[in-house]
Amino acid sequence: MNGLLNFEDYISAVEAALRSLDIFKTVGIYSEMGDGYETPAVFFDIERWEESEACLGGKLTVNLTCNFYIVRELAAEGYNRKIRNAALLFTGWIHQRQFGPGTGPAQFVSAESGNIYLDEKALASHHAWCVTIEQCVAVGMDLFDDTGAPTLKEVWMGISPDVGGAHKDDYTLLARRGPDEEA
């Protein structure tokens, strides 16, 4: 299995899943939101990533920290209670959710009340709850991928200076395509 080569597939999968929920009138990327959107809205942001000890395929597995900003207009009746309830409902929905191949289950981290910003200015007309998750995703090409490119069947290691054909028996097998996998 290959991992992410860029974030487009992951973001598209997240957006499609968010659009399938009937509680949001607007779905988007936090950094790309404009003004004049309908609420309740949810905006998604990949805050950061770091190396993960998990292995989900690909060349590397990283742990993403993602924020989901659930937004309502302050003018909406009962906006505070409604936005808290929407954030709680969303928390239950997002926990353990996967967004396509090479993604592990999302882990709920926290939810907190806050402001929503547009062009680095807090929008005084809106209130947000931020739901934060962590999710492992595979990144890069899998060494054993067989999508048409030349692929490895085995990986061997030799230690210098005992390398080359004369030292073939001194090499250590590091990885081999599994017996149930086609070459």
Confidence of residue 183 (pLDDT cuts 50, 70, 90): very low
Percent of the chain with pLDDT over 90: 45
For position 37, which CATH number holds? Answer: 3.30.2000.10
Q: In whole angstroms, what is the distance from residue 16 CA to residue 4 CA?
A: 17
Residues 118 and 34 in one domain: yes
Confidence of residue 168 (pLDDT cuts 50, 70, 90): confident
Residues 107 and 180 in one domain: no
Number of domains in the chain: 2
- The answer on pLDDT for 9 being more than 70 is yes
In this structure, is residue 3 part of a structural domain?
no
Residues 135 and 150 in one domain: no
Residues 123 and 70 in one domain: yes
Entry pTM? 0.74
Give per-residue pLDDT as tens, 145-163.
555 555 567 778 888 888 8
Q: Which domain holds residue 178?
A: 143-183
* Higher-confidence position of 67 and 167: 67
- Beta strand 60-73 with 41-51 is antiparallel
* Higher-confidence position of 182 and 52: 52
Average pLDDT, the chain: 85
Residues 116 and 180 in one domain: no
Q: In whole angstroms, what is the distance from residue 171 CA to residue 126 CA?
A: 63
The pLDDT assigned to 129 comes to 95
Residues 166 and 87 in one domain: no
* Higher-confidence position of 149 and 53: 53
Q: In whole angstroms, what is the distance from residue 77 CA to residue 79 CA?
A: 5
Residues 177 and 134 in one domain: no
The per-residue b/e assignment along 128-162, b for 16 or more CB within 10 angstroms, e otherwise, is: bbbbbbbbbbbbebbebeeeeeeeeeeeeeeeeee
Residues 162 and 88 in one domain: no
In this structure, is residue 46 part of a structural domain?
yes
* Higher-confidence position of 125 and 150: 125
